[in-house]
Amino acid sequence: MDIETAQKKVQELHDLLNQYSYDYHVLDKPSVPDAEYDARLQELVKLEEQFPELRTSDSPTQRVGGEILEGFQKVEHNTPMLSLANAFSEQDLRDFDRRVRQVIGEDFQYVFELKIDGLAVSLRYEEGLFVRGATRGDGTIGEDITENLRTIHTIPLRLKKRYSMEVRGEAFMPKRSFERLNEQKLEREEEPFANPRNAAAGSLRQLDPKIAAKRNLDIFVYGIGEIGDTGVKKQSEGLDLLDRLGFKTNRERKKCENIDEVINLLHEMQDKRQSLPYEIDGLVLKVDSLEQQEQLGYTAKSPRWAIAYKFPAEEVMTKLLDIELNVGRTGVVTPTAILEPVRVAGTTVKRASLHNEDLIREKDIKIGDYVVVKKAGDIIPEVVNVLVDQRTGEETDFHMPEECPECRSELVRIEGEVALRCINPKCPAQIREGLIHFVSRNAMNIDGLGERVIAQLFQEGLITDVADLYELTREQLIALERMGEKSVENLLNAIQQSKQNSLEKLLFGIGIRYVGSKAAKTLAQNFETMDRLMNASKEEVVAISEIGEKMADSVVTYFEQAEVITLIEELKSHGVNMEYKGPKLQAAEESDSVFAGKTIVLTGKLEQLSRNEAKERIEALGGKVTGSVSKSTDLVIAGEAAGSKLSKAEELNIEVWDEARLIEELG
């Protein structure tokens, strides 16, 4: 067979196998026996072996999983993957509806969709070809899991039209696949997965794509991240387009004229929930018109045009066997209920937080009680109430100790707080928890240093504070259980890389009381170096608009401690960066800045800057970046494939720049 004949045959097999796969996995209507599909696939495999140059990334043979990966690369989303605000009652939905009507009037429709319990992912296509898939991550930065996503048969590797676009979906494990997987784990005497969501997330974060390929994952695509030139003007139109392009969307969606229709559908789906072949944990409600979505806009965390209704938490009865004490990184001692294992909302629950002694007294909880347990938001187990009529008289009262359970220092209750706190700075539990916080994603983000490894290092005496992390050697790490050559190399590289983080990451990581990630960035932007912040007075700190008295007190007090000064000096000696690397705030006060005092909207794909970089630099020059175009917008920056926001700007005669003009003005 010559190359031209082979090329034609390969394309025929691509089209045939893609259609078979679409019929089977998306339409759930197999058009040929499995043996026929397997025979055609083997025919394609042999042709690609004979003519390797004809093997392409969109070939059906690429779904079996490729080579083992060394790690996951970080990916920045062009458009942030925002989370949705939650509703927990019908009244919450009616309040949402009222807020929508106050802004856009009565002439609109909703789209009602199921909230799939899985892992949110983004899928990027260039000229119709699947080029990248990523996790949601923190909404701005995710992980590149392209090779694992290729193994999901309901993700088309090539679209039916040559669109360049980004779509969002929820990858999940069907109930049947989950049950089969756990049966296999039990047969091998391995710990089963707690629920399908954990199983899906764990499968997509496997470094070996062949493992993901065996897990029978699925996906429902629920939206277009970048509309581009698709001509879509409504959420419902977007879903119909995704169907036509070959994606799998959830067919339970419906358009609703008013909130009463929504609530009726909600009751129907609650009854139908258990019979679905996949897990859902609620419903999603969206305003259908994209123009009206833009009009409603966004808060800092979520769109104002959508809301997620969470089903009421399942409540079950179990026995409270004991109460255990845990010491957190700030010294707070938290009582935890040890429960007789019980299934709640798809997982086995053995522990539940009791928060503090006052709550235990308020709910009259005794050791040995039968209690009702639920998961707050279907996530965090909590004790709802005690079944007093089940008591036998053998139950015992619980009393908080006077000493720290870890270091035996005296516990204190600070005025105005309900929690008991260990104030010994050398308490092992606080040090251990502080180390776990320091390496976490929003802090220094050191991949490979999870709780288990930190506990090992601490137990072996290899680390006693965060500075010790930068003294770890290959010889020390390779001696630890379950640490191979590659793991050690990756970990040491991650530790080295963390030295280059901007100052705000370090400030959040060292764990100053009341200073979260946002406040850490504000402090870093204003003081720019660790030394300036350490030497700042309370008056200088509190003068920053977003910093209150309580936080300013905490910051100044923290840096007055001799142990802290020593720690910072040690980190400096190890080469840890002590400067803010983002855009400088003082530029915001320059009177000649073209951005100062203006409201600006970014739309479309920027080539030279990420969306976040552009936003930070504009805001540093005194501009305010918002998510929607309105009469109050002063300027729109339009990148490639700008959609409805650009159209609206033109309708309102708002000034529009391209990226080249933006770069020029940013200097």
- pLDDT grade for 598, boundaries at 50, 70 and 90: confident
Helix (H, G, I), strand (E, B) or coil at 125: strand
Q: What is the pLDDT of residue 32?
A: 78
Rounded to whole angstroms, how far apart are CA atoms 40 and 61?
11
- Could you tell me if 618 and 474 lie in one domain? no
Q: How far is CA 427 from CA 179, 430, 523, 606, 626, in A?
A: 43, 5, 28, 49, 45
Query: According to the 3-state scheme, what is the secondary structure of 45-61?
Result: HHHHHHCHHHCCCCCHH
Q: What is the pLDDT of residue 168?
A: 94
- Could you tell me if 398 and 463 lie in one domain? no
CATH of the domain at 385: 2.40.50.140
DSSP for residue 273: G
- Could you tell me if 457 and 370 lie in one domain? no
pLDDT at 590 over 70: no
- Could you tell me if 111 and 206 lie in one domain? yes
Pairing relationship of beta strands 624-626 and 599-603 according to DSSP bridges:
parallel
Q: Which of 9, 74, 115, 615 is catalytic?
A: 115
pLDDT at 423 over 90: no
- Could you tell me if 566 and 597 lie in one domain? no
The verdict on residue 328 lying in a domain is yes
Q: Which residue has the tokens 């100790």?
A: 401
Tokens (6 digits) for 19: 């259609």
Question: Where does 558-623 show beta strands of DSSP type E?
Answer: 599-603
Rounded to whole angstroms, how far apart are CA atoms 8 and 110?
46
CA 503 vs. chain centroid, Å, equals: 23
- Could you tell me if 110 and 14 lie in one domain? no
Mean pLDDT calculated for residue range 47-72: 74
Pairing relationship of beta strands 218-226 and 165-172 according to DSSP bridges:
antiparallel
562 by Cβ neighbours in 10 Å (0-12 / 13-18 / 19+) ranks as: exposed
- Comparing 108-112, 602-606, 638-642, the range with the smallest average pLDDT is 638-642
Helix (H, G, I), strand (E, B) or coil at 471: helix
Specify which of 38-42, 44-48, 142-146 reaches the highest per-range mean pLDDT.
142-146
Q: Going by C-beta distance under 8 Å and a sequence separation of 6 or more, which residues neighbour residue 614?
A: 602, 606, 625, 637, 662
Q: Give the residue from 442, 474, 498 where a domain finishes.
A: 498
Rounded to whole angstroms, how far apart are CA atoms 32 and 626?
51
Q: Give the residue from 498, 518, 541 where a domain finishes.
A: 498
Mean pLDDT calculated for residue range 101-125: 93
CATH of the domain at 597: 3.40.50.10190
DSSP for residue 529: B
Pairing relationship of beta strands 119-126 and 332-344 according to DSSP bridges:
unpaired
* Catalytic annotation present for 115: yes
Q: Going by C-beta distance under 8 Å and a sequence separation of 6 or more, which residues neighbour residue 229?
A: 641, 643
Q: What is the pLDDT of residue 66?
A: 56
- Could you tell me if 144 and 241 lie in one domain? yes
Helix (H, G, I), strand (E, B) or coil at 95: helix
- Could you tell me if 14 and 160 lie in one domain? no
The verdict on residue 460 lying in a domain is yes
- pLDDT grade for 412, boundaries at 50, 70 and 90: confident
Q: How far is CA 413 from CA 359, 363, 405, 408, 434, in A?
A: 15, 21, 15, 16, 21
The verdict on residue 441 lying in a domain is yes
Helix (H, G, I), strand (E, B) or coil at 467: helix
pLDDT at 241 over 70: yes
- Could you tell me if 304 and 386 lie in one domain? no
- Could you tell me if 168 and 215 lie in one domain? yes
pTM for this predicted structure: 0.56
Q: What are phi and psi of 166, to 5 degrees?
A: -120, 135
Q: Give the residue from 498, 527, 560 where a domain finishes.
A: 498
Specify which of 540-544, 547-551, 555-559 reaches the highest per-range mean pLDDT.
555-559
Rounded to whole angstroms, how far apart are CA atoms 240 and 166?
16
Left, alpha or beta for 448 (phi > 0: left; psi -120 to 50: alpha)? left
The verdict on residue 476 lying in a domain is yes
Tokens (6 digits) for 389: 């009529």
The verdict on residue 136 lying in a domain is yes
- Could you tell me if 193 and 274 lie in one domain? yes
Q: How many CA atoms lie within 13 A of 447 on its CB side?
A: 12
Determine how many CB atoms are found less than 10 A away from the CB of residue 533.
Answer: 22
Mean pLDDT calculated for residue range 639-643: 76
- pLDDT grade for 346, boundaries at 50, 70 and 90: low
Q: Going by C-beta distance under 8 Å and a sequence separation of 6 or more, which residues neighbour residue 199?
A: 173, 178, 181, 182, 193, 215
Average pLDDT, the chain: 87
CB 210 within 8 A of CB 158: no
Q: Which amino acid is at 112?
A: F
The verdict on residue 21 lying in a domain is yes
Q: Shortest CA distance to 200 belongs to which of 29, 381, 346?
A: 346
Q: What is the pLDDT of residue 530?
A: 96
Rg (CA), the chain: 28
Helix (H, G, I), strand (E, B) or coil at 199: helix
- pLDDT grade for 589, boundaries at 50, 70 and 90: very low
Report the percent of the chain where pLDDT is more than 70. Answer: 95
For the stretch 25-35, pLDDT in tens is: 677 677 877 77
CATH of the domain at 55: 1.10.287.610
CATH of the domain at 167: 3.30.470.30
Range of the domain at 560: 503-573
Report the percent of the chain where pLDDT is more than 90. Answer: 41
Q: Shortest CA distance to 278 belongs to which of 199, 218, 192, 348?
A: 218
- pLDDT grade for 318, boundaries at 50, 70 and 90: very high
CATH of the domain at 507: 1.10.150.20
The verdict on residue 418 lying in a domain is no
Rounded to whole angstroms, how far apart are CA atoms 58 and 334?
52
Rounded to whole angstroms, how far apart are CA atoms 60 and 13?
9
For the stretch 192-213, pLDDT in tens is: 777 788 888 888 888 788 888 8
Rounded to whole angstroms, how far apart are CA atoms 159 and 181?
31
CA 656 vs. chain centroid, Å, equals: 33
Q: What is the pLDDT of residue 260?
A: 95
Q: What is the pLDDT of residue 591?
A: 46
Tokens (6 digits) for 571: 């980190």
For the stretch 140-198, pLDDT in tens is: 888 899 999 999 999 999 998 988 889 999 999 999 898 888 888 777 767 777 778 88
CA 662 vs. chain centroid, Å, equals: 30
For the stretch 501-537, pLDDT in tens is: 999 999 999 999 889 888 898 899 889 999 999 999 9
Pairing relationship of beta strands 254-256 and 110-116 according to DSSP bridges:
antiparallel
The verdict on residue 81 lying in a domain is no
Q: Going by C-beta distance under 8 Å and a sequence separation of 6 or more, which residues neighbour residue 127?
A: 162, 163, 164
DSSP readout, 643-657?
Answer: -HHHHHHHHTT-EEE
CB 494 within 8 A of CB 501: no
Q: Which residues pair with 133 in a beta bridge?
A: 123
- Could you tell me if 91 and 191 lie in one domain? yes
Q: What is the pLDDT of residue 67?
A: 57
- Gap between the terminal Cα atoms of the chain: 58
Mean pLDDT calculated for residue range 383-392: 93
Count: domains in the chain: 6
